[in-house]
Copies of this chain bind each other. A is one copy, B any other.
Amino acid sequence: MDQVSPQRKRAGRRPTIADIAKIVGVSKVSVSNALNGQPGVSEATRARIAEVAEEIGFVRNSAARALSGAKSSAVGLALARPARMLGTEPFFMELIGGIENVLSDASYSLALQVVSDHERGLEAYRRWWGERQIDGAILVDLREDDARVPALEEIGLPTVVIGHPSGSGSLTPVWSDDAAAIRETLEYLAALGHRRVGRVAGLTGLVHTSQRDAAFAAVCRELGLEAAPVIHTDYTGMEGARATRRLLLSPARPTAILYDNDMTAVAGLSVAQEMGLRVPEDLSIVAWDDSPLVQVVRPPLTALTRDIHAYGAHAARILLALISGEKSEGYEDAAPQLTPRGSTAAPPA
């Protein structure tokens, strides 16, 4: 009866299990058990409860449930980027799409926060965890000596790191073999006859950047290629253009350039064409990450294709497994595949 006069009976009060209990004539507990498939409720009552719940439009109050120690059915992802740069990165949207796909099948939702740097990102994870908002976390943009790794290890939050195991500590990594992709690309360029290959790389400090740097140097040496200087950028078109200009004006101008993302590659293409170089006759271009962008320019760019969507999906799947208590060694995703298009050819004689 005390249900009838709460201090502030809101007009559109949402139905609770107590309402169902009253209607069916059983206790709250039975309703809870019935709705959760717990034993101790007869089939008949169970059916009746389900029916009434449906009828009055009952929705579980996840706050109440979480309060009683249950899961919160959400995972967190803090993206450390200057917000204005996000739009230029198809990568993350695709990744998020893949993650979401898996999560929503499990009725999990994704808490997303865009922060300015890793420090604030860590704060976000801490807050989410403190408030029991999330059951697990996904870490991206792994850096060398990333402070977030030990921090998340300490609070014991199930976490999947998108990045190479070498930097993920005891957290579960999901990664791809970038070195293999570099090798495939350089072998391809060497076979075409290129002897001097440049590289426009991404942000220094990121684990995958230095891994690619290392692989690039190693494979060049191995294949007897002359490695032009590696120039690091922030992935924007502007820096990609500048880096390309520097490479093309250097005394030892490369005959092919490998870019770390699609945007810098497209910018590089424009710069080359502006400088009167024909692509691919005078300069070959390879972009890391296939995307509509690299396919829409002329010539369409040879690219390292990977299924980013699947990548995100794998990460999410493993995270869900971790949350449900399973152990996981992580997952090595397929290495990026070289997709030759019109931007690569034999170097000028």
Which A residues contact B (CB, under 8 angstroms)? 12, 14, 59-64, 66-67, 72, 74, 83-84, 86-94, 96-98, 100-101, 104, 109-115, 126-128, 130-133, 156, 236-238, 240-241, 263, 266-267, 270, 273-274, 291-293, 295-298, 308-309
A63–B111 Cα distance when bound, in Å, is 15
A87–B90 Cα distance when bound, in Å, is 4
Q: A83-B98, A87-B90, A112-B110 are in contact. Are A237 and B67 (CB under 8 A)?
A: no
| Copies of the protein in its oligomer | 2
Residue of B111, B112, B130, B296 touching A237 (CB-CB under 8 A): B296
Chain B, residue nearest A240 (CB): B296
Chain B, residue nearest A95 (CB): B87
Report the minimum CB–CB distance from A309 to chain B (whole Å).
Answer: 6
Given contacts A62-B133, A83-B97, A87-B94, 5 further A-B contacts (CB under 8 A): A12-B156, A62-B131, A87-B292, A96-B114, A263-B296
A109–B109 Cα distance when bound, in Å, is 13
Is B293 touching A270 in the complex (CB atoms < 8 A)?
A: no
Report the minimum CB–CB distance from A38 to chain B (whole Å).
Answer: 17
A97 cross-chain contacts in B, Cβ below 8 A: 83-84, 86-87, 114
A96 cross-chain contacts in B, Cβ below 8 A: 86, 112, 114
Of the A-B pairs whose beta carbons lie under 8 Å apart in the complex, a sample of 27, sorted by A's number, is A59-B126, A60-B131, A62-B132, A63-B132, A83-B98, A83-B100, A83-B101, A84-B97, A86-B94, A87-B90, A87-B94, A88-B291, A88-B292, A93-B93, A96-B112, A96-B114, A100-B113, A104-B113, A104-B114, A111-B112, A112-B112, A241-B296, A263-B292, A266-B296, A267-B296, A270-B296, A273-B298
